Every structure is written in C-alpha cells, then in structure tokens.
Amino acid sequence: MPEAAVHLKTLAKMIDHSLLHPTMTDADILKGCDLSRRYDVATVCIKPYAVAMCKEALAGSDVGICAVIGFPHGNSTTALKVAETEQVIQDGATEIDMVINIGKALGGDWDFVAADIDAVNRACVSQGALLKVIFETDYLQDEHIVRLSRMCSELRVAFVKTSTGYGFVKQPGGDYNYKGATDHVLMLMRQYSAPEVQIKAAGGVRTLDDLLRVRSLGVTRIGATATEAMLEDAKRRGYA
C-alpha cells in the first residue's frame, strides 16, 4: 500500500511535463497540454515560442507554464537571457528554467556565473515568476555542484535543477548518453542548498519508483516525459 500521507495529486503536482524535444510539432505540444490538464500536473515545460499557445490551451486549468531559457546549452548572453525571460513571462509563463553558462563554471569564472543567474532571477522576481537554475550536472564535478548550490542559495533562487535532458556526454564506446538526476547529485544539491531552495530532478526519472525515490531524497519537482505511465502506475498501486 502507498504511504498514507502521499496522494495522487501530491505526486502529479511534483511533475513538470516536459515538451522540449526539438522535433515536437505544435500538434505534439498541444497533445501534451491535454495530457497535462487531464492529470493536473504542476506545469508544462515548454519552448519559449510556445508559451502563448499553451497558455490558451491550458486556460481554466490549474496547470502552470514553465519556459526554458538559454536552452539547452546556456550560452546566450546574459542580456538575451533576461530579454527572453521577460518575453515569456509577458506571454504567460510563471516559472522559468534557465541553463547556466556551463563553460564559465568549468573555467572558474564564478563572478560571471553569479551575475548571469542573478540578472535572470531579478527579472523573474520582479514579475512574480519562479526561477529554476539548471546546472547540467553530467558536465560538472562535485565541487562545481557544491559551489553552484551555495551560490544559488545566496542569490535566493526558487529551485536548483540537475539537467536539461540533453546534456549528452561522449562515452568510451563513442556513443553519447547522460546520467541526469543521480542520487549522488541530488543528495549533494540538497545538502549544500539552503532549506528554502527546492530541488528539481530532471533526466532519468522515468518510473513511479524513480519519482518516489527522488522524493525521499528531498526533491519536490521533477521534469518528466513519462508522466502518464508514472501516474497510471500510481493509480494501480492504490494512490488516490
């Protein structure tokens, strides 16, 4: 039997339903909005151009709109990230998932990284939106993750987030893959983030057991494409 205190709605409201694959058509995105409305998830996580369309599609529902910024590699200038943030909030986004400048973090230019995050966070806060800062942890070492967690806490962002789902690393065999939200990374982020900073796990959370496991580690939001499978499994297991 499921935990008594965990309801189906609690699990659904942990999910940002991801609609970010570059091949997705508008029809695909609108189908994802229908699914998100049906399961009453937290948000749809979408490309900037689709915000106005999704706002209209989700009108009257309790599903929010999360737009990605500087996605997926984080290499836009800070000014462009801020402008993109302001535009999507104007179009109807209430949450922003921003990718850090990964090369700057790896190169140790922490002043740049902090200023980049701070500028976008200020743009969010001034308009009542929440910022989630994507680290892309597959590219980082533990010391980077610790420093970023502390930095985001000092800047008072709403969430820190593991991955884009597109941070592919070349493997020894020559193919590309990624690990995403590993338990190790999530525990580091939770340990070194302030208590009020929430954790979003993205990349590799594909089953209900994955969702329940990361929840036990302190995660309050996930990014997922397997939303329907997870929540239907929850129903089968007796979550109500």
What is the pLDDT at residue 186? 98
Q: Which residues pair with 45 in a beta bridge?
A: 18, 66
Contact 12, 48 (CB under 8 A): no
What is the pLDDT at residue 23? 98
pLDDT surpasses 70 at 4: no
Count Cβ neighbours within 10 Å for each residue of 164-191 and write b for 16 or more, e otherwise. bbebeeeeeeeeeebebbbeebbebbbe
pTM score: 0.96
Question: Which among 26, 130, 107 is positioned nearest to 34, based on CA atoms?
Answer: 26
pLDDT surpasses 80 at 67: yes
What gap in Å lies between CA 202 and CA 187, rounded to an integer? Answer: 14
What is the pLDDT at residue 10? 97
**Confidence band, pLDDT 50/70/90 cuts, at residue 5:** confident
What gap in Å lies between CA 175 and CA 217, rounded to an integer? Answer: 30
pLDDT surpasses 60 at 1: no
CB atoms within 10 A of CB 2: 15
* Per-residue model confidence as pLDDT tens digits over 116-154: 999 999 999 999 999 999 999 999 999 999 999 999 999
Task: State what percent of residues in the chain have pLDDT above 90.
Answer: 94
Q: Which domains are present in the chain?
A: 8-236 (3.20.20.70)
What gap in Å lies between CA 65 and CA 101, rounded to an integer? Answer: 23
* Per-residue model confidence as pLDDT tens digits over 176-222: 999 999 999 999 999 999 999 999 999 999 999 999 999 999 999 99
Which residues are catalytic, by number?
97, 161, 200
**Confidence band, pLDDT 50/70/90 cuts, at residue 85:** very high
What is the pLDDT at residue 224? 97
């998932």: which residue's tokens? 97
pLDDT surpasses 90 at 171: no
